[in-house]
Amino acid sequence: MDISASALVAQVFTGLVLGGIFVLLAVGLSLIFGLMTVVNFAHGSLYMLGAYFGFFLLGLSGSFWVALAFAPLMVGVFGVIVERTLIRPLYGRSPDDPLLLTFGLSAVLVELVRLIWGKVGLQFDPPRALAGAVDLGFMHFPVYRLFVIAVTVVVLIGLWLFLERTNVGLVIRAGSRDPLMVRALGIDLGRIWRLVFGIGAALAGLAGILAGPMRGVYAEMGVTIIIESFVVVVVGGMGSLLGAIVAGILIGEVVSLTTFFAPKLAEIMVFVFMAAILLVRPSGLFGEAGLLE
Amino acid sequence: MIRRLLSPVAGFVAARPVLCFLAVFAVFPFLVPYKALATQVLIFGLFALGFNLLYGYTGLLSFGHAAYYGLGAYGTGIALAKLKVGTLWGGLGAGLGTAALGGAVIGFFCLRRRGIYFAMLTLAFAQLLYFIGFHAADWTGGDDGLRGIPRLPLSLGGLAVTLDTPLAFYYFCYVLVGLAVAALKRILDSPFGAVLQAIRENPGRAVACGYDIDRVKWLSFVFSAIFTGLAGSLDALRLSVVPIESLYWTTSGQVVIMTLLGGAGTFFGPFVGAATFLVLEDRLSLFTESWPLFVGAIFVSFVLFLPRGIWGTLAAKLR
């Protein structure tokens, strides 16, 4: 294989890594939206918190693995607290209100992180075991990025099993179809909502700590990625997990390949791609028309 | 007691809003700490007014109003600084035209989806324009901003009035914003305005009454973009620079915060909100760099506890 072709393949892999990060964020957004019609603008800030909590835990324990295990958990708990205190009073009001509230919250979180950890970004290295590159036969690829792809796949399979094979998963799926009927069966949906918000937050936190060593850790890191995640969700179809996965990978590849061929257009292509999808399929690739509008 | 005294005042304000606007802002520069702040309140109030037409009156939450603000600013800026258009009116017209065109095209796309999707789409399209503005540095100045916008004298008939002093520029803005406020009042009082509010309250019933709500929403979007674009144009003249941040999503966020602080869906809310926001920013930034933290927290508590905003709450109390 000649050099440019293997560079292209490497770029496709890079797109897959970026796509994995998008998928983790979009799945959480979509899950939260599907169940409680809340668009979580603060999702990017939770992603950012994941990276900062990870950095904090890494400094405390000296182990990347401890940080990787506990940072998403901390973000998940934080998400539960946010749902309980700030979002819960807004149920029953216009669906715009949680969006506005989480928008304000994200501004607060960015400023708080700046106060605590400073304005300058942090250096967050991948652990030694995952440093360096691996020879895939036709190209070299950073081990850490392969690890990110692997973690994403494992987490998504776990999430799928949880939703499809457990009783709680069944209630979650039922709750997003027909909350009234689920309530009528005597199930406390409030607790389920809190749980799902926590899971979504934890997934965002996981995406943050995974992205930290690749994309840098800084207070505004969640700001641009939340907009791209919104695009993923719009393209995939809101509330559809499969849509979030397919669209996340597609957008990851769009960014990565445009960066390869025309770096200046990379950010623009994402939105052009979205506009094109909207013209052809207004409800997204896997979305149902009219769902929760 | 206070209520009995203020109620007739509130009634007059509600009956003659344009007159009240003109009266208050005629003396406004002498009530604030410095004149530049008064001009800022006028311009950002107009920006919030444009946003409020779409969100407060039509019920469409746009998270991308930076787009039309930036298009107005760059339209005027490019016309005056790059294309050397020789008149102030030409520059303003270019800004308004660009913003209207942008609103027409982006509105067409965004209105294909409703509710939450609409908010996300407007945000995405504004961000698209930001990146275009960032990379088209030959025209926009890119990251450095567009510099060297002349503040040409105002020609009225054969008369040329210079706008060099802060007060002269303030009253120039005052007249234009006053016209915009009168235009908004005219729109809201027209049958078209009634349909807008019907769409906000119950889109299904508006359709059932035989209104073409897609067209009405699109028109509301375009009108909103024109008001917003005028604010952008005036701000380009005020600063003689267009910073790239005017297209950035934080600008969209600012106008959302201003409108909700003042009271969405109320006539004066946008100006009250703009004044509140700018005074808060001005005072808080004296003490702390982290002023957005406090503004953000205030905004969150408004969403939770005071969703009608300052003006909306006052008006409801005095009714």
Q: What are the pLDDT digits (tens) for B145-175? A: 999 999 888 888 778 888 889 999 999 999 9
Burial grade of A30 (CB within 10 A; 0-12, 13-18, 19 or more): buried
Binned at pLDDT 50, 70 and 90, residue A1 comes out as low
pLDDT, tens digit, 9 for 90 and up, residues A35-86? 888 899 999 999 999 999 999 999 999 899 999 999 999 999 999 999 999 9
**Domain containing residue B223: CATH number:** 1.10.3470
pLDDT score at A3: 66
- What are the distances in angstroms from CA B282 to CA A179, A218, B253? 46, 26, 18
Binned at pLDDT 50, 70 and 90, residue A2 comes out as low
pLDDT, tens digit, 9 for 90 and up, residues B45-83? 999 999 999 999 999 999 999 999 999 999 999 999 999
pLDDT score at B96: 97
Total domain count, chain B: 1
Binned at pLDDT 50, 70 and 90, residue A291 comes out as very low
CATH code that applies to domain A3-280: 1.10.3470
Q: Which residue of B has its CA nearest to A98?
A: B303
Question: Phi then psi for A123, rounded to 5 degrees?
Answer: -90, 120
Binned at pLDDT 50, 70 and 90, residue A205 comes out as very high
Q: Is the pLDDT of residue A290 over 60?
A: no
- The contact set of B with A (CB < 8 A) is 61, 63, 109, 112-117, 119-121, 123-125, 127-128, 131-132, 135, 249, 253, 256-257, 260, 290, 292-293, 295-297, 299-300, 303-304, 307
Binned at pLDDT 50, 70 and 90, residue B274 comes out as very high
Binned at pLDDT 50, 70 and 90, residue A94 comes out as confident
Residue A135: strand, helix, or coil: strand
pLDDT, tens digit, 9 for 90 and up, residues B224-263? 999 999 999 999 999 999 999 999 999 999 999 999 999 9
Q: Is the pLDDT of residue A293 over 60?
A: no
Q: Is the pLDDT of residue B1 over 70?
A: no
Residues of chain B neighbouring A283 (CB-CB closer than 8 A): 113
Q: Which residue of B has its CA nearest to A90?
A: B304
Q: Say what percent of chain B tops pLDDT 90.
A: 79
**Poorest-pLDDT segment among A20-24, A135-139, A260-264:** A135-139
Given a contact cutoff of 8 angstroms between Cβ atoms, the answer to whether B270 and B231 are in contact is: no
Residues of chain B neighbouring A108 (CB-CB closer than 8 A): 293, 296-297, 300
Q: Is the pLDDT of residue A250 over 60?
A: yes
How high is the ipTM of this complex? Answer: 0.90
Total Cβ atoms within 10 A of residue A154:
10
* Average pLDDT score over chain A: 90
- Which is nearest to B57 in space by CA: B182, B187, B181, B177? B187
> What is this structure's pTM?
0.92
Helix (H) or strand (E) segment spanning residue A142:
strand A140-142
pLDDT score at B6: 77
pLDDT, tens digit, 9 for 90 and up, residues A174-199? 888 888 888 899 888 889 999 999 99
Cα(B161)–Cα(A5) distance, rounded to whole angstroms? 65
CA angle B28, B30, B32 (to 5 degrees): 75
Residue B148: strand, helix, or coil: coil
Q: Which domain holds residue B253?
A: 2-318
Whether B290 sits inside 8 A of A268 (CB atoms) is no
pLDDT score at A18: 94
- Across the interface, of B120, B121, B296, the residue whose CB is closest to A104 is B296
Place of tokens 């149902």: A288
pLDDT, tens digit, 9 for 90 and up, residues B109-128? 899 887 778 888 899 899 99
Residue B18: strand, helix, or coil: helix
- Across the interface, of B61, B121, B127, the residue whose CB is closest to A234 is B121
